[in-house]
Amino acid sequence: EIVMTQSPATLSVSPGERVTLSCRASQSISSDLAWYQQKTGQAPRLLIYDAYTRATGIPARFSGSGSGTEFTLTISSLQSEDFAVYYCHQYDDWPLTFGGGTKVEIK
Amino acid sequence: EVQLLESGGGLVQPGGSLRLSCAASGFTFSYYSMTWVRQAPGKGLEWVSTVYGNGAFTYYAASVRGRFTVSRDNSQNTLFLQMNSLRAEDTAVYYCAKDPLTSGGHYLDSWGRGVLVTVSS
């Protein structure tokens, strides 16, 4: 099973700041990585797929990068609506696995 | 607009059974693989099962294999998850989600709102 490790677990940020979230795979997953945003009480929402492709309707302030085992989600200027938990997800091999999440909270 | 609506959740005793449904609309249901993902209270996301668009192939997490069965009725645009021999650790919100392709094992581009399953005596 491919283990996905996200860091940090929690990030305290002020609105307007640049945010970088990390995700590491226990083995190479090429670019088969997605990022999701989940707000409290809501379903996850797809942000990024194939490591760097923004999903439909996702603002340009969200960007993804990386390949192999190291991946990054960057939010260029954090908006109030971006405070949430972010999950990475590998789909390179079965079983599909998710990272433990990074909570982005207000500083 | 893609819509996924789960139903069938509730409180069940350990060892009991439950059948979840996910009614889909807004897309050609038979075209796409569908997946169940669950989230225990206060925890992260856990993939449960995937079924291909034509229903020919199914995949399961080790934690549910042999107890859960995923299926679909493409004539009714509905996805199912039959859950047997339920355990306390199966307590979670269960989401159905849509794959972008007919073969499974990809990212999930649309999600339902989820349904709560509680396993407790």
pLDDT tens per residue across span B63-95? 999 999 999 999 999 999 999 999 999 999 999
- Tens place of pLDDT per residue across chain A (107 aa): 999 999 999 999 999 999 999 999 999 999 999 999 999 999 999 999 999 999 999 999 999 999 999 999 999 999 999 999 999 999 999 999 999 999 999 88
A3 φ/ψ angles, rounded to the nearest 5 degrees = -95, 130
Provide φ and ψ at B28, rounded to 5°.
-80, 95
User: Which residues in B lie closer than 8 A to residue A98 (C-beta atoms)?
Assistant: 44-47
Chain A residue numbers touching B100 (CB-CB < 8 A): 49
Closest Cα to residue A44, out of A96, A106, A1, A101? A101
Yes or no, beta carbons of A46 and B44 under 8 Å apart: no
Q: Where are the beta strands (DSSP E) in chain A?
A: 4-7, 10-13, 19-25, 33-38, 45-49, 53-54, 62-67, 70-75, 84-90, 97-98, 102-106
Average pLDDT, chain B: 96
Give the whole-angstrom CA distance, residue A49 versus residue A27.
18
Report the SS3 class of residue B38. Answer: strand
Q: Which of B45, B48, B99 to mutate to test the interface with A (most CBs of A within 10 A)?
A: B45
Nearest residue to B5 (alpha-carbon basis) of B115, B109, B92 = B115
Between strands A10-13 and A102-106, the pairing is parallel
Closest CA to B105 of B113, B97, B117: B97
Name every chain B residue with its beta carbon within 8 A of the beta carbon of A97.
Answer: 47
pLDDT of residue A70: 98
